[in-house]
A and B are shown apart, each in its own frame.
Chain A
Amino acid sequence: MNKPVPVTDWISDFDHTDPRWTENPYPIWDVLRAASPVVHTDRFRGVYMPTTYEAVKAIAYDTEHFSSRRIIVRNSRPPITQSAPPITSDPPEHKPAKQLLLPPFTPDAMKKLEPRVRAICNELIDQFIDDPNVDAAARYTKHIPVRAIAHMLGIPEQDGDLFIKWIHEILELGITDEETLMRAIEEMSHYFMGHIQARKSKPTDDLISTLMNARDANGQPLSDMHVLGSLRLLLIAGIDTTWSAIGASLWHLAKTPADRERLIAEPELMPTAIEEFLRAYSPVTMAREVMKETSISGCPIKPENMVLLSFPAANRDPAMFHDADKVLIDRKENRHAAFGLGIHRCVGSNLARMEMTVAIEEWLKRVPDFRLDPAGKVTWSEGTVRGPRQLPLLLGAAD
Chain B
Amino acid sequence: MAGKLKIHVDPDKCQGHSRCKSLAPELFELDEYGNAHEIGDGTVPEGLEDKAWLAKSNCPELAIEITED
Report A's interface with B, CB cutoff 8 A.
99, 102-103, 105-108, 271, 275, 332-337, 339, 341-343, 345, 349-350
Interface centre among B16, B18, B21 (most CB of A within 10 A): B16
Report B12-39 CB contacts with A as 1/0, cut-off 8 Å: 0001111001110000001011100000
Contact A336 B60 (CB under 8 A): yes
Contact A342 B59 (CB under 8 A): no
Contact B58 A334 (CB under 8 A): yes
Which of A99, A275, A343 is within 8 Å of B15, CB to CB? A343
Beyond A102-B16, A106-B34, A341-B61, list 10 extra A-B contacts (CB 8 Å).
A102-B33, A103-B32, A105-B34, A107-B18, A108-B30, A334-B58, A335-B62, A341-B60, A345-B15, A350-B18
Q: List the 4 closest A-B pairs by CB distance, nearest first.
A: A345-B15, A102-B33, A333-B57, A106-B34
Residue B48 lies at the interface, judged by CB distance under 8 Å to chain A: no
Contact B17 A345 (CB under 8 A): yes
Give CA–CA (A250, B18) in the complex, Å.
24
Which of A99, A335, A341, A342 is within 8 Å of B58, CB to CB? A335
Q: In the complex, which residues of chain A have a beta carbon less than 8 angstroms from the beta carbon of B34?
A: 102-103, 105-107, 350
Contact A335 B57 (CB under 8 A): yes
Which of B18, B33, B58, B59 is within 8 Å of A103, CB to CB? B33
Contact B17 A339 (CB under 8 A): yes
Q: In the complex, which residues of chain A have a beta carbon less than 8 angstroms from the beta carbon of B15?
A: 341-343, 345
Chain B residues touching A, range: 10 to 19
A sample of 25 cross-chain residue pairs with beta-carbon separation below 8 angstroms, ordered by A number, consists of: A102-B16, A102-B33, A102-B34, A103-B32, A103-B33, A106-B18, A107-B21, A107-B34, A108-B30, A271-B22, A333-B58, A335-B57, A335-B59, A335-B60, A335-B62, A336-B60, A339-B17, A339-B60, A341-B15, A342-B61, A343-B15, A345-B16, A345-B17, A349-B17, A349-B18
Q: In the complex, which residues of chain B have a beta carbon less than 8 angstroms from the beta carbon of A337?
A: 60
Shortest distance from the beta carbon of B14 to any chain A beta carbon, whole Å: 10
Residue of B nearest to A342 (CB): B15
Give CA–CA (A74, B59) in the complex, Å.
32
Interface centre among B15, B32, B54 (most CB of A within 10 A): B15
Q: In the complex, which residues of chain A have a beta carbon less than 8 angstroms from the beta carbon of B23?
A: 271
Contact A106 B60 (CB under 8 A): no
Within 8 A of A (CB), among B28-69: 30, 32-34, 54, 57-62
Give CA–CA (A339, B16) in the complex, Å.
11
Shortest distance from the beta carbon of A282 to any chain B beta carbon, whole Å: 12
Contact B33 A99 (CB under 8 A): yes
Shortest distance from the beta carbon of B51 to any chain A beta carbon, whole Å: 12
